């Protein structure tokens, strides 16, 4: 079984996940666009028993934006962290994984809510620099 690690930008919070992923879910709703500052949130849905915090679990702060929507971030660097509101699943922010995940986008949620600047991909330049 594969094991992947993830962390926040400053490294205060680290976690690991066991097993494979079935694909990234990309939500374009207005809440996800606002909290990410981009086209939406990219998440992996994993069973709770496959996820565990390694360090810094007490270094989180959760903002409840609506009764049905909250986001948890690192207290120091503000990285959006895995959401644990559901008793069964963890909604893992895909960008916080440090290891390759081996899958691409599986599902677009609220695709019609994408910002206007995310519609025309023809002529987009791709740079091959990594950070």
C-alpha angle 13-19-21 in degrees, rounded to nearest 5: 90
Q: What is the per-residue pLDDT for 92?
A: 92
Structure tokens at 27: 């939500």
pLDDT (0 to 100) of residue 34: 83
What's residue 68's pLDDT? Answer: 77
105-109 and 24-27 strand pairing: parallel
pLDDT of residue 124: 73
Whole-number pLDDT of residue 130: 64
Instruction: Give me the phi and psi of 34, to 5 degrees please.
Output: -70, -45
pLDDT for 4 equals 96
Output the CA torsion sign for 49, 72, 28, 67: positive
Tell me the C-alpha distance between 28 and 55, whole Å: 30
How high is the pLDDT of residue 56?
Answer: 93
How confident is the model at residue 95, as a pLDDT? 94
pLDDT of residue 59: 92
Q: How far apart are CA 76 and CA 61, in angstroms?
A: 10
pLDDT less than 70: residues of the chain: 1, 120, 129-131
Structure confidence at residue 122 (pLDDT):
75
Tokens read off for 100: 């390759």
Full set of structural domains in the chain with CATH: 3-113 (2.170.150.70)
Q: What is the pLDDT of residue 16?
A: 97
Asked whether 105 and 44 are in contact (CB, 8 A), the reply is no
The model carries a pTM of 0.82
Q: What is the pLDDT, as a whole number, of residue 51?
A: 96
pLDDT at 47: 95
Q: Where are the beta strands (DSSP E) in 13-118?
A: 14-18, 24-27, 41-47, 51-55, 60-66, 69-74, 89-93, 105-109
């Amino acid at each position: 079984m594969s094991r992947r690690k993830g962390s926040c930008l400053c490294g205060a919070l680290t976690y690991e996940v066991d097993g494979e992923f079935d694909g990234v879910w990309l939500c374009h709703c207005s809440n996800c666009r606002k909290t990410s500052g981009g086209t939406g949130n990219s998440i992996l849905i994993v069973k709770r028993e496959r996820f565990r915090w390694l360090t810094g679990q007490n270094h989180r702060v959760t903002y409840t934006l609506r009764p049905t929507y909250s986001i948890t971030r690192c207290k120091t660097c503000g990285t959006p962290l895995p959401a644990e509101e559901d008793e069964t699943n963890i909604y893992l922010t895909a960008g916080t994984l440090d290891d390759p995940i081996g899958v691409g986008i599986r599902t677009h949620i609220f695709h019609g809510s994408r910002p206007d600047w995310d519609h025309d991909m023809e002529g987009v330049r791709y740079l091959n620099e990594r950070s």
